[in-house]
Amino acid sequence: MLRRPITFDEKVDARFRRRSRSECWWWEGSLKEGRPAINLRHVTRYIYEREIAPIPPGMRLYRTDHDPDCKPKARKCEHFRCVNPWHLRVGPGQGGIYERDVNHELTDPERAAIYKRRVRENSRGKEQASGGIG
């Protein structure tokens, strides 16, 4: 019996549980740079665009669910694990962790080259640390 391939939407949905709009949807999958990710792809922006609306170019997402005790710039804030799109707002800005290409892929040749270089550097560092051939 052949298995049906799992879609990206199914992978994303399997890693959090939808609740009401006011409650946090806690990401239970892996993190990249302290943010929810699957296969090195940040998913918060993807979920926002899927559930609410596409994000116009030049705009970025801002968190609205921080407590007074949170430090918005700190990676340790647990609210960054929340993927509820109603806890985000769109605003002007450049860069930022949620500023990503619409397709969320490493299709740009320069970005792909940077990623490959990092992988090579990491593997060389591990080989040298283990005393392997390098």
Among left, alpha and beta (phi > 0; psi -120 to 50; other), residue 96 is: left
Dist CA 79 CA 66 (whole Å): 7
pLDDT tier at 131 (50, 70, 90 boundaries)?
Answer: low
**Is residue 62 a contact partner of residue 88, using CB atoms and an 8 Å limit?**
yes
Question: What is the three-class DSSP state of 8?
Answer: helix
Mean pLDDT across 76-98: 77
What is the pLDDT at residue 102? Answer: 36
**Choice among 22-26, 60-64, 70-74, 78-82 with the minimum mean pLDDT:** 70-74
Q: What is the pTM of this model?
A: 0.62
Domain-wise residue ranges, the chain: 8-102, 104-134
Residue 35 has pLDDT above 90, yes or no: no
**Residue 30: CA atoms inside 13 Å, Cβ hemisphere, count?**
8
